[in-house]
Structure 1
Amino acid sequence: MTMTDVRRQHTLAEPVELSGIGVHSGKPVSMTLHPAEDDHGIVFLRSEDGKDYEIRASHKVVSATELCTVLGDPSSVSVATVEHLMAALVAYGVDNVLIEIDGPEVPVFDGSSAAYIDAFEQVGLKQQRRARRFIKVLKPVRIENGQSYAELRPFDGSRFEVEIDFDTPVIGRQKFSGDLSPAVFRDELSRARTFGFMKDVEGLWAMGYALGSSLDNTVVLGDDEVVNPEGLRYPDEFVRHKTLDAVGDLSLAGAPILGLYRSYRGGHRVNINMVKALFADPDAWEYVEEAPTRTVGHGELPAGIAAAAFRADVS
């Protein structure tokens, strides 16, 4: 069996073009994901007032976490709602990419990461020469915020255990546990959509949020039912989407994390604060170039991930 070398950095084999609307702005946006050289990292490129601005995908430049994760300065140049794209990139092992975007918000598509997965499977990945760096968790680190908490613990691989607890019978208490791999992300997380409550919509609109939200890109909850006529994609779609968000937010550490991430009643703020707490303790982590013991082969990878097939044109 041909194996993909998880010890090496990867980029996209071809550019990927995508377009849609922003879930909060409601405005159309287009972006192109360009292959990038070794050690480039994940960087957003925005043009504003005739100038180009680069915003690195890093927890250090997170400026807001209320309803989504925002990178950069919202009063000048920023990129919002990056979590679904970031989750797909880190789960599929994309280390280096330049994301050229013509607006302040990443398109929402159907509220999940499915569009990115489709695009990545079309073009495939290109293995690069430089070694991939991992962030290895050396000891437990925990944060608490009221009833919410999160912790990172040493683990041979990358594992997520996410639990939510909503005071509504439509959601209730749900938990997702799983080791992160391209196949697990594709099959168990990527299609889980963002969700919201009908009773909150008018308030969000008044604050300038959710202007692009609809039944096409959001699971909408009434008092005791899911409003979307097609229902749910997974019985526990809500916790799966919260896990997807956590994968995306933790990717802002700047390298894949080798550790177990566990959270209860978390969200973007808790996820980002967990990354900051990890880096605040220099004894809790280290950079390594060793791959997880469990090697991923093509049998666990989506078709086309190892080689380019054709240019994606996803809209």
Structure 2
Amino acid sequence: MSKRFIGARQTTVAREIEVSGTGVHSGAPVSVVIHPAPADTGICFIVSKRGRIISQIEADVRAVRNLTLCTVIGDDRGVTVGTVEHLLSALRGLCVDNCFIEIDNKEVPIMDGSAAAFVDAIDEVGVRELATPRKFIKVLKPIRVQEGDCWGELTPHSSFHLDVEINFDSPVIGRQRMALDLSPGAFRQELCRARTFGFMRDVEMLWKSGLALGASLENTVAIGEDRVMNPEGLRYPQEFVRHKMLDAVGDLALAGAPLLASYRSVRGGHRLNATVLKSLFADADAWTVVHAPMVREAPHVAGYDASLGMAAVQFAANRN
């Protein structure tokens, strides 16, 4: 048995993963292939057109180009990939540090409106450890952004804690709040199946704007005046706030490495998540990069779920 700390090493997917579906905004068919990648690659989108690579876009907050209804990243030449948050959430939720994501259209497929299909696909092939120590972004002091009655704040924490609150003027949603410490087990059980949602009253406006062309009851929780329109109802209690948490995990994956922080969000969304992350990196005294040490491990720790929390306990900070 190796004499190291469980969860101390970077990971990638064990082999290629292929998924396909429809873009929720474009309505167009999309194919995605997730490839294994070496350590320190991070997550990188490879955009192809007619079999030719036209761009490589790192999953980095500096690459964000639009935050209207979804998170869009792009390069300096105008090539973009939209609706990246659910796939990024699955990768970060399952502690996948490195991969190439080959995509043949401008939008990640919506699948069933959650991250479940991506989680199932990753679980089917497995996650492979690499030899390089995992690195984290460690938050050193509070960073808060307020926009009217919406606010988000990152504070120091030994692992990654998520606390999200929403409040909609709808009897179907109302005020919901949920908090959890993120681990692969918690992500699978509590968040990954929570679906995106929208109001029936907004549909015509979105269509006129060229958005939500691929939305349906198969991939969106549709909210009427006083009820959920989907025949099967909701998958979870408070599914709406759980989906906002799923989105936050994906948006904060644009940090480029797992965060050691507590994130509190009130009435937020993609724009607030990205703004808080940009504010963090704008303050050089607010964060540092730490690496997991190779230290002696306990005789056996079942599963991979504790990797974020366990590997964070005894890090020596190494500022890049």
Shared fold, TM over 0.5 = yes
Query: Where in structure 1 do 4 or more consecutive aligned residues deviate above 6 Å?
Result: 1-4
User: Take 2:70 and 2:153, find their aligned partners in 1: how far apart are those partners?
Assistant: 21
Question: In the alignment, what sits opposite 2:31?
Answer: 30
User: Take 1:136 and 1:75, find their aligned partners in 2: how far apart are those partners?
Assistant: 32
Q: What does 1:1-315 correspond to in 2, within 5 Å?
A: 5-48=6-49, 50-72=52-74, 76-290=78-292, 297-299=301-303, 301=305
User: Take 1:257 and 1:177, find their aligned partners in 2: how far apart are those partners?
Assistant: 16
User: Take 1:53 and 1:177, find their aligned partners in 2: how far apart are those partners?
Assistant: 37
TM-score (norm 1): 0.91
Deviation per residue, 1:70-96 (Å, 9 max, x gap) = 000598311000000001101111111
User: CA shift at 1:98, angstroms?
Assistant: 0.5
What residue identity is the alignment partner of 1:44? F
Ranges in structure 2 where 5+ consecutive residues have no aligned partner: 307-320
TM-score (norm 2): 0.90
For the 8 Å contact 2:55–2:75, the answer to whether it is kept is: no
User: Take 1:301 and 1:4, find their aligned partners in 2: how far apart are those partners?
Assistant: 13
User: CA shift at 1:300, angstroms?
Assistant: 5.8
User: Take 2:291 and 2:71, find their aligned partners in 1: how far apart are those partners?
Assistant: 28
Of residues 178-187 and 281-290 in structure 1, the stretch that sits farther from structure 2 once superposed is: 281-290
User: CA shift at 1:134, angstroms?
Assistant: 0.3
Quickly say closer, same or farther: Cα 1:222–1:72, change in 2 above 3 A.
Answer: same
User: CA shift at 1:297, angstroms?
Assistant: 4.1
Deviation per residue, 1:229-279 (Å, 9 max, x gap) = 000001200000000000000010100000100010000000000000101
For the 8 Å contact 2:9–2:292, the answer to whether it is kept is: no
What residue identity is the alignment partner of 1:171? I
User: Take 1:160 and 1:208, find their aligned partners in 2: how far apart are those partners?
Assistant: 33
For the 8 Å contact 1:182–1:300, the answer to whether it is kept is: yes
User: Take 2:203 and 2:21, find their aligned partners in 1: how far apart are those partners?
Assistant: 21
SS across alignment from 1:203: helix
User: CA shift at 1:120, angstroms?
Assistant: 1.1
Quickly say closer, same or farther: Cα 1:281–1:162, change in 2 above 3 A.
Answer: same
What residue identity is the alignment partner of 1:282? A
For the 8 Å contact 1:63–1:74, the answer to whether it is kept is: no
For the 8 Å contact 1:4–1:298, the answer to whether it is kept is: no
User: Take 2:40 and 2:303, find their aligned partners in 1: how far apart are those partners?
Assistant: 28
User: CA shift at 1:7, angstroms?
Assistant: 1.6
User: CA shift at 1:39, angstroms?
Assistant: 1.0
User: Take 1:110 and 1:251, find their aligned partners in 2: how far apart are those partners?
Assistant: 21
For the 8 Å contact 1:4–1:297, the answer to whether it is kept is: no
User: Take 2:138 and 2:198, find their aligned partners in 1: how far apart are those partners?
Assistant: 35
What residue identity is the alignment partner of 2:263? Y
User: Take 2:75 and 2:282, find their aligned partners in 1: how far apart are those partners?
Assistant: 23
User: Take 1:91 and 1:113, find their aligned partners in 2: how far apart are those partners?
Assistant: 10
User: CA shift at 1:4, angstroms?
Assistant: 7.8
SS across alignment from 1:178: strand
For the 8 Å contact 1:149–1:266, the answer to whether it is kept is: yes
SS across alignment from 1:112: coil
User: Take 1:155 and 1:104, find their aligned partners in 2: how far apart are those partners?
Assistant: 36
Question: In the alignment, what sits opposite 1:307?
Answer: none
Deviation per residue, 1:24-43 (Å, 9 max, x gap) = 00011001000011111100
For the 8 Å contact 1:140–1:152, the answer to whether it is kept is: yes
User: Take 1:260 and 1:195, find their aligned partners in 2: how far apart are those partners?
Assistant: 25
For the 8 Å contact 1:199–1:222, the answer to whether it is kept is: yes
What residue identity is the alignment partner of 1:298? A
For the 8 Å contact 2:64–2:72, the answer to whether it is kept is: yes
Of residues 179-188 and 125-134 in structure 1, the stretch that sits farther from structure 2 once superposed is: 125-134
